[in-house]
Amino acid sequence: MLFKEKFENIVSKIDTYQPKRAWVFAIIFSVFIFFAASLYLFIWRRPYNLASANKALADSSVILIGVSFALSGLCYFWDFVDTKIIYRKHLGVIGFLFAFLHIIISVFFLPQNFTFPKWIFENKIAFDFGVLAFIIFLLMALISNRYSVMKLGGKKWRLVLRYSGFIAFLAVAAHIFALKYKYWLKWLADWKSSLPSLSMIVFVIIIAIFILRFSLFVAEKKKFKKQNIK
């Protein structure tokens, strides 16, 4: 069964879907991810302050958007995740809001950490990829509604979100790598002395999500060929 068919089958069976409950679940899950990220940062580098909370927001944002992006593959390969597909949009939107809050805090409340425009010139590649990802995610958030589905048509709407999300998530990966790879190399040279940074763990999660999506693409292609042969 192709993912499109399986997705439609899953949605048709979930007759107890309630938007408000879905949002509540997504918010609780998002808060849990934020606190887990905060706890890791506290253990990794005490004390915990606004800069730490801001970093936790950024990493939580990537994780939430990543989970939203990964749910298609998770549902395809593992049936017990099927009913969680309804939270894909909610987690993606909250992940975007976390990213927006991270930008607001960075620009207006942490001038000592982000001295603009100097920081931009010193991290131009990371900044450009970050801006690209944010703009795409903003557009995705703006069309995540029934009006856009009706205007674009269900098939085109899903394709726009799928490929936009893929490009934006690639930009996020490039943003994180450009900002942090020097610190990762230092840690790898003396990895026994401390825990890896949270950004390194998040980057590994991103790679795993891309592998999952590629696996879904390969599996879909194989099944499509088999169906055509029959």
Please list, in sequence order, all residues whose beta carbon lies within 8 angstroms of the beta carbon of residue 33, skipping any fewer than 6 positions away: 60, 63, 64
Residue with tokens 């918010």: 27
Break the chain into its structural domains and give their ranges: 3-229
Distance of alpha carbon 88 from alpha carbon 65, whole angstroms = 9
Tell me what pLDDT residue 15 has. Answer: 47
pLDDT in tens, 60-103: 999 999 999 998 888 888 877 777 888 888 999 999 999 999 99
3-state DSSP assignment of residue 114? coil
Tokens standing for 188?
């790898």
CA atoms within 13 A on the CB side of 16: 3
- Using 70 as the pLDDT threshold, list the residues of the chain that sit under it: 1-17, 224-230
Helices and strands: H and E segment counts in the chain: 9, 0
How confident is the model at residue 104, as a pLDDT?
Answer: 94
Helix (H) or strand (E) holding 172: helix 154-189
| pLDDT in the model for residue 151 | 83
